[in-house]
């Protein structure tokens, strides 16, 4: 059974050569449009945004882009950024309904990641694992939903300027946090982005991130997947602290692409990991 996996670009993985994989782009609008595709110069985009003083925002893939990405696959699994932050899930839902109406013998299942960043690819890799084990479509859905109930996303931001420009936090709050050197640590809760700590300074922030991973039931030998926006040194420090407590941790590290770079900003990073049952990811509620 051949599965096609399609994510939106909040996954930070825009292509997987040799795999039956597709990615539909989100877009950043800030004086000009930046489309989250492999050819985009993210370094230049980040630099442009530093100098841009106007309002900015993001836009989601449309129904046609999702439909095109489904291709002609018999079994499709779509994975999206949380529908509480973007219309990507709704567009994918319309595309899936149209696809199955046109091809009644084919099947599409959509996973709302209830987050953004690494958790999407953790779901994708679980689908591939199920495929490799010979599971059918329905068994794969059940296994992945159970897995998703035990995944978590936390993040650390050095700046909230773009969140303020996008109207998600007050501009005064973003400016004050920058002046005071406050980092914002948050997590995805049922698809909403919720601040959980506001440490002052980089060292305290890294230790708070490690504590957040431990408190959510991460176990030695588990997987931690990290996407970062030009934060290599901080991520290395975070990984070293994790290894002190969990020496057999499996890490995957990747740079953020346009969408996550826009929200995380330089120095920010997003951490997806396996842990205890996550009541905020309980799929029976969504």
3-state class (DSSP) for residue 177: helix
* Mean pLDDT lowest among 138-147, 161-170, 214-223, 259-268: 161-170
Q: Decide if 200 contacts 183 (C-beta within 8 A).
A: yes
What confidence tens digit (pLDDT) does each residue in 96-105 have?
999 999 999 9
Strand ordering across the sheet containing 57-59: 33-35, 27-29, 57-59
| pLDDT digit string, tens, across residues 89-98 | 999 999 999 9
User: HSE-up of 55 (CA within 13 Å, CB side)?
Assistant: 5
Q: How confident is the model at residue 184 (pLDDT cuts 50, 70, 90)?
A: confident
79 or 49, which is more confident: 79
Return the pLDDT at 47: 94
Q: Is 260 left (phi over 0), alpha (psi -120 to 50) or beta?
A: alpha
For residues 200 and 220, give the distance between their C-alpha atoms in angstroms, rounded to a whole number: 29
CA distances from 180 to 60, 155, 166, 183 (A): 33, 19, 22, 9
Rounded average pLDDT over 152-177: 67
Do the beta carbons of residue 85 and residue 115 sit within 8 Å?
Answer: no
Q: Answer whether residue 53 shows pLDDT above 90.
A: no
More confident residue, 178 or 48: 48
pLDDT greater than 90 at residue 48: yes
pLDDT greater than 50 at residue 179: no
pLDDT for 42? 98
Taken in order 177, 181, 186, 191, is the CA torsion positive or negative?
A: positive
Question: How far is the C-alpha of 226 from the C-alpha of 260, rounded, in Å?
Answer: 12
Alpha carbons 226 and 166: distance in angstroms, whole number: 24
Cα 14 to Cα 41: distance, rounded to the nearest angstrom = 13
Strands, E, within the chain: which ranges?
3-8, 21-24, 27-29, 33-35, 57-59, 75-80, 107-112, 151-157, 184-189, 192-197, 223-228, 250-255, 269-274
pLDDT recorded at residue 1: 62
Specify burial of residue 239 (Cβ count, 10 A radius: 0-12, 13-18, 19+): middle
CB 183 within 8 A of CB 205: yes
Q: State the chain's mean pLDDT as an integer.
A: 91
Q: Identify whether the C-beta of residue 34 lies closer than 8 Å to the C-beta of residue 58.
A: no
C-alpha to C-alpha distance for 107 and 153, rounded to whole angstroms: 28
Give me the domains of the chain, ranges plus CATH numbers. Answer: 3-148 (3.40.50.10170), 151-285 (3.30.1180.10)
Closest CA to 151 of 113, 186, 198: 113
pTM reported for the whole predicted model: 0.93
Residue bearing the bigger pLDDT, 8 or 189? 8
- pLDDT (0 to 100) of residue 119: 97
Residues 6 or more apart in contact with residue 199 via CB below 8 angstroms: 182, 183, 185, 205, 207, 208
Sign of CA dihedral 120, 126, 131, 136: negative
Tell me which long-range contacts 169-178 makes (C-beta under 8 A, separation of at least 24).
Answer: none
* pLDDT tens digits along 229-257: 999 999 999 999 999 999 999 999 999 99
């Amino acid at each position: 059974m051949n599965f096609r996996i399609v994510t939106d670009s909040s996954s930070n993985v825009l292509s997987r050569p040799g795999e039956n994989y597709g990615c539909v782009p989100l877009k950043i609008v800030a004086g000009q449009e930046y489309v989250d595709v492999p050819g985009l110069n993210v370094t230049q985009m980040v630099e442009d945004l530093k100098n841009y003083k106007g309002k900015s925002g993001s836009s989601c893939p449309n129904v046609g882009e999702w439909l095109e990405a489904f291709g002609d696959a018999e079994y499709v699994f779509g994975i999206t950024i949380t529908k509480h932050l973007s219309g990507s899930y709704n567009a994918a839902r319309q595309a899936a309904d149209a696809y199955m109406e046109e091809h009644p013998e084919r099947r599409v299942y959509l996973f709302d990641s209830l987050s953004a960043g690494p958790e999407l690819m953790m779901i994708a890799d679980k689908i591939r694992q199920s495929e490799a084990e010979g599971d059918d479509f329905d068994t794969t859905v059940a296994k992945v939903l159970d897995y998703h109930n035990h995944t978590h996303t936390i993040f650390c931001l050095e700046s909230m300027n773009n969140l303020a420009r996008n109207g998600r936090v007050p501009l005064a709050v973003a400016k004050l946090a920058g002046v005071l050197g406050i980092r914002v640590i948050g997590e995805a809760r049922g698809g909403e982005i919720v601040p959980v700590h506001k440490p002052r300074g980089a060292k305290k922030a890294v230790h708070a991130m490690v504590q957040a991973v431990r408190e959510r039931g991460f176990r030695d030998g588990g997987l931690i997947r990290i996407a970062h926006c030009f934060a290599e040194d901080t991520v290395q420090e975070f990984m070293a602290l994790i290894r002190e407590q969990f020496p057999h941790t499996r890490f995957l590290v990747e740079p953020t692409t346009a969408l996550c770079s826009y929200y995380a900003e330089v120095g920010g990073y997003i951490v997806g990991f396996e842990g205890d049952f996550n009541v905020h990811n309980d799929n029976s509620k969504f």
